Structure 1
Amino acid sequence: MIKNIARSFIKILLWILALGFGVISLPSHAQMSIEITGVGQSLYPIAVMRFKDENKLPISITDIIRQDLARSGYFKNTENGNASESDEGTPNYPSWAARGADALVLGSVVQTSAGQFEIRYKLFDVRKSEGLGGLNINSSADNLRAAAHKIADDIIFKLLGERGIFSTRLSYVIKEGKRYRLVISDADGQNIRNAMNSGEPIISPSWSPDGKKVAYVSFEDRKPVIYVHELATGRRIPLSNQKGNNSAPAWSPDGKKLAISLSKDGNTQIYSINADGSNLQRLTRGRTIDTEPQYSADGRYIYFTSDRGGNPQIYRMSAEGEQAESAKRVTFKQGFVTSPRISPDGKYLAYIANLGGAFRLHILNLATGDSQALTDGSSDESPSFAANGRYVLYSTKVGGKRVLAAVSVSGNSKQILTIPGSDVRQPSWGPFMD
């Protein structure tokens, strides 16, 4: 499959491709379980009381909110039981302070019609003895998880002043028997839905900035072809079906273009293409391998992997191509570096470095040049930033099985998302949904 490439780069390409072709099995009824480790000691104590009358619901709103806040790495819940309290009137602030809570969440459920509910929630600052408002959300039984995630996001915003990422989504590729599936799930790995099924591999999913489309590479025609898939309708367009390899799609911040890697002229190079498949333009013209493009947060630059210096490293060029501005090397501290990913705020570069045969997730502060390993793993792959830039999602191995993992950019908070008996690869974290 890989032709006309330098021998010095064959190993890395085979490794990258292998990340997409592992055998993955997922029982259709399985959901992810989450293990949180390494959380810091200074956690915000919050009491999330059981929502009144939530026994009318097929799922527990309270449990989802509690789990979301725990996964954030910022909170510890001081109330884990089934006691509920009215969300009407003013709470007894001294009593809650004595119970160790700095914030209080109260809620209730009202059934408005068959299969329709109103979810009411209020947030209180116990320290300041004041209410912080709340939400009334009308939801069908099928969208209760989304309602709970929206409440958790509101709590994060009101108490911490930043957008929560619980309402964002994940994508990844699984394999069942001889069938491959591109799946979409909530940010907590639950509520798994199929986006596409195929008898051939699907790799490299990449979310559009508006969260409505996913670009990916499919081998359904027995060769790698890049598709853009509209999730709401299932409509797909073949974005690039050039001779040779079509790989590594990455959206521009405005969603109008994608950077892709093509081998149609020999060695793999980077091109830009409009989101409708028009206006293909070559951006690099080297004799080595240039691949894995990623736009900068402001759209002015493209970061990419290249072995032009011998071993693969990360470089940066103008989004207009090397003819506009020569590429500059970005990574220097490790000898073998791949998989660049830029944080939404443009401050950090996540990447995978090979350290003596161990592939480990790292993060680089682009302003200072300081870098650090975020994990102690040996088979990390496919990093992807959360929409708020606070976490990096990736795939790794635990107990011989591939799992999804998320780590904060500080490295302090880590989560492992597993599906019993299954391997999970190629994760991609979706954007904020407005």
Structure 2
Amino acid sequence: MFVFKFLIYFFTGFLIVKAAPAFSSDVHIEIQRTESPRTPLGVLGFQSDPGLEKEAKALREVLLADLKRSLSFQLIDLSNVQSASTLPADFVKKIAEDHVEIILSGRVKIEGDQLHLDVALYNGKTGKWLWERDFKNFVKYIRMISHRSADQIIYQLTGEEGIAETAIAYVSDAGGSKEIYRMDYDGFNPQRVTLNHTINLLPRWSPDGKKLSYTSYIDRNPDVWITDMTTTKRWKVTSGGLNLSPVWFPNGNRILFAGSVEGQTQLFTATEEGKNIQRLSFSQGNDLSPSFSPTGHEVVFNSDRGGTPQLYVMNSDGTNVRRLTFEGDYNTTPSWSPKGDWIAYTCRFENRLHICLISPDGQKKVSLSSNSYDDESPVWAPDSKHLAFSSNRGGKQNIYMMTSEGTEVEKLTQVNGNFINPAWSPLPR
């Protein structure tokens, strides 16, 4: 029955949720997670060559949005002050006014067919120049210029990798059939990955971000397929039976997926060519939706072996299986954070689906949403600060982004249709 409901959900984009008792109260434990203080960052108006005012405005707006999403800065709008090729120290200290720690300036120009954005950072306390870099690309890739500059600024000021150059894969029925797409992390630049006019589900990125694994009905059976995002070459990994939830081992050498055996789904591994298939789980139930720990030593998955879908953790060789969730009768689609400290998943209470977090030892739990609509299928960004998920708020299923605190929710998909099964890419290499 669980497999049937699982398939109905992913084939239609909607889940029929039966009435269920609410979670016991301890799922709402408030976890005190101390936020790092945000650095006051003043952003000057961008200087541009004549005729490039529109491009300068667009570059600055995208860059500001990227820096805001980093959760590292308190942005201060200094657009009334124009950037220049060099800023004297006394001038920087004056506009910083003792409360702006960093000043960011930007200059925009065209050289040949390349649009350039030169950004510089200054210490607001001392007025000294800190760092400068020129970013360039074709004009049509203007957003990419801002994304790249944002990630470099974030790294220079925090030592952390930014996520502005990442992408999110997802499933959409906007074209009539369930196809896989990818978009920039902020919802722009959507591109179709599959076009086979059938059912395609559950995309997951390879560790190098160059391939997508997914389940497809190309051959009228739910098989695991892989598409190379660079060459567009595709190939089938598995054949026959149900083959769902394919994910990559962190080293990229093998794939872990749920395959049917004797009327149930169990976890199997295979090479990306579909060779050397090995069975990992041997439960009296249905095991689905695996997600690796950052080290690759453990796997979290959901199983109804105890009567209701719950989260379980095991070693990546199938040993040492232990149950993780005990509250509620519906806990599914786990996603292990890149930092390893939290597992996000779909939980149900008050007859609605929500995004919950649980620590890998099961000792800490928190709900990130408590609404009159359904939020589900969370996946982590590479920075472990953000989650993408699907939600029917607004009537149809769309992909949203929020922080790991459940705040700053953004709708990413904007066109008609239903959008499900988000998958966040790794950092570009």
Pick the TM interval, shorter chain.
Answer: 0.7 to 0.9
Question: Residues of 1 paired with 2:324 and 2:227: CA distance?
Answer: 32
1:132 partnered with 2:117? no
Q: Distance in 1 between the 2:2 and 2:186 partners?
A: 40
In structure 2, what residue type is equivalent to 1:350?
A
Unaligned ranges ≥5, structure 1: 1-6, 23-39
Aligned length: 406
Q: In the alignment, what sits opposite 2:323?
A: 329
Map of 1:92-241 to 2, 5 A cutoff? 92-98=91-97, 101-113=100-112, 115-241=113-239
CA offset digits 1:120-140 (Å, max 9, x no partner): 111122134332212122322
Give 5+ residue unaligned stretches, structure 2.
17-34
1:37-116 pair list within 5 angstroms: 43-53=38-48, 55-56=51-52, 59=55, 60-79=58-77, 81=79, 84-91=82-89, 92-98=91-97, 101-113=100-112, 115-116=113-114
Tell which deviates more after alignment, 104-113 or 254-263.
104-113
Q: Determine the structure 1 residue equivalent to 2:22.
A: none
Deviations 1:178-233 (CA, angstroms, capped at 9, x unpaired): 24432221111111222221211211010001000011111222221111110011
In 2, distance between residues paired with 1:326 and 1:127?
54
Counterpart position of 2:368: 374
Judge which range, 407-416 or 290-299, deviates more.
Answer: 407-416
The worse-fitting range, judged by mean Cα deviation, of 361-370 and 195-204 is 361-370
Q: Which amino acid aligns with 2:297?
A: R
Displacement of 1:299 in angstroms is 1.1
After superposition, residues 421-432 of structure 1 pair within 5 angstroms as 421-432=416-427
Query: Which 4+ stretches in 1 moved above 6 angstroms?
Result: none
Residue 158 of structure 1 aligns to a residue in which SS?
helix
Q: State the TM-score, normalized to the length of structure 1.
A: 0.86
How far the C-alpha of 1:330 sits from its partner, in A, is 1.2
Q: Which amino acid aligns with 2:316?
A: A
Paired letter, 1:45: P
CA displacement at 1:404 relative to structure 2: 1.8
Deviations 1:231-288 (A, max 9, x none): 01100110112x2211100111001111101114421111001122211111112221
TM-score, L = length of structure 2: 0.87
Alpha-carbon distance, 1:87 to partner: 3.1
Indicate how the Cα distance of structure 1 residues 393 and 421 shifts in structure 2: closer, same or farther if over 3 A, else same: same
TM-align CA RMSD: 2.5
State how far apart, in whole Å, the 2-side matches of 1:195 and 1:90 are. Answer: 49
Q: How far is 1:119 from its partner?
A: 2.3
Match of 1:263 in 2: 260
Question: % of aligned pairs identical?
Answer: 26
Alpha-carbon contact 2:92-2:103 (below 8 Å) kept: no
After superposing the two structures, state which structure 1 stretch, 176-185 or 144-153, moved more.
176-185
2:411 corresponds to? 416
Contact 1:9 1:311 in 2 (8 A): no
CA shift in 2, pair 1:20/1:253, >3 Å: farther
CA separation of 1:41 and 1:247: change in aligned 2, threshold 3 A: closer
Native 8 Å contact 2:174 2:418 kept in 1: no
